[in-house]
């Protein structure tokens, strides 16, 4: 894989999600490598952006090494679980969904989240509410990433945009409801209402 191919991934993710969908539609192991690198860069940039918001201590070195490894593994685990749930939901919906394609689409759609560091640096150097703009930019970049994932999945499986938004939201809703029920049951067990 050469530099031009890597730049093609980045350009397609940022500007033309339909082209990204066509690129990753071909099942190939190099897509997984690029996806893992993108997730690693996103995690690193997020750690750097959060570190810029506060004074640095000796803990920074642990955060940038062990914290990076832990957050990378957590991000990959969440991505795999979410992609698995989305694949099952799409297959129940009657589409021939591929887990590998969805993993790559979700991972490569995170490319815009890399731009969090320039946003934080600009507002940190201006001393103008960097924490607020970190939060606002994180939300905006997350929505941009969701839009890219929605366009890739919509293009690949020929689904209408509104249906795709529903399919993408459903795993998050299911996971949230399940986590809430587990939390309530765990709280009831701790309190002693259930024996």
- Domains in the chain: boundaries: 3-191
- Could you tell me which residue, 143 or 20, shows the higher pLDDT? 143
23 membership: H or E segment, kind and range: helix 17-24
- Give percent of the chain with pLDDT exceeding 70: 97
Whether residue 114 contacts residue 41, with contact meaning beta carbons closer than 8 Å, is answered with: yes
User: Is pLDDT at 63 greater than 90 in this prediction?
Assistant: no
The per-residue pLDDT for 61 is: 83
139 burial via Cβ count (<10 Å: 0-12, 13-18, 19+): exposed
The rounded distance, in Å, linking the Cα atoms of 92 and 173 is 16
User: Which of 30, 19, 28, 67 is CA-nearest to residue 46?
Assistant: 67
**Helix (H), strand (E) at residue 95:** none
Dihedral pair phi/psi, residue 130, rounded to 5°: -65, -30
Largest CA distance in the chain: 62
Tens of pLDDT, residues 67-123 = 999 999 999 999 999 999 999 999 999 999 989 999 999 999 999 999 999 999 999
pLDDT above 80 for 41: yes
Q: What's the pLDDT tens digit per position in 121-150?
A: 999 999 888 899 999 999 999 999 999 999
Q: What is the mean pLDDT of residues 36-40?
A: 94
Beta strand segments in the chain, E: none
For position 194, what pLDDT does the model report? 62
Mean pLDDT for 40-60 is 89
Number of alpha carbons in the 13 Å side-chain half-sphere of residue 37? 9
Q: Is 34's pLDDT higher than 80?
A: yes
Q: Residue 195's pLDDT band (boundaries 50, 70, 90)?
A: low
* Residue-level pLDDT at 132: 94
């Amino acid at each position: 894989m050469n530099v031009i191919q890597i730049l093609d991934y980045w350009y397609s993710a940022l500007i033309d999600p339909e082209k990204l969908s066509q690129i990753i539609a071909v099942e190939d192991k190099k897509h997984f490598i690029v996806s893992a690198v993108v997730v690693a860069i996103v995690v690193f940039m997020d750690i750097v952006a959060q570190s810029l918001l506060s004074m640095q201590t000796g803990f920074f070195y642990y955060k940038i090494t062990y914290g990076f490894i832990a957050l990378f593994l957590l991000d990959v685990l969440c991505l795999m679980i979410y992609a698995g749930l989305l694949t099952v939901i799409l297959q129940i919906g009657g589409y021939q969904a591929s887990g590998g394609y969805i993993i790559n689409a979700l991972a490569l759609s995170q490319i815009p989240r890399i731009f969090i560091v320039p946003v934080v640096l600009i507002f940190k150097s201006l001393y103008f509410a960097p924490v607020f703009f970190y939060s606002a930019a994180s939300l905006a970049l997350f929505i941009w990433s969701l839009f890219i994932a929605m366009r890739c999945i919509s293009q690949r499986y020929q689904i209408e945009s509104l249906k795709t938004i529903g399919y993408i939201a459903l795993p998050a809703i299911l996971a949230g409801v399940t986590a809430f029920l587990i939390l309530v049951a765990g709280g009831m067990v701790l309190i002693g209402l259930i024996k």
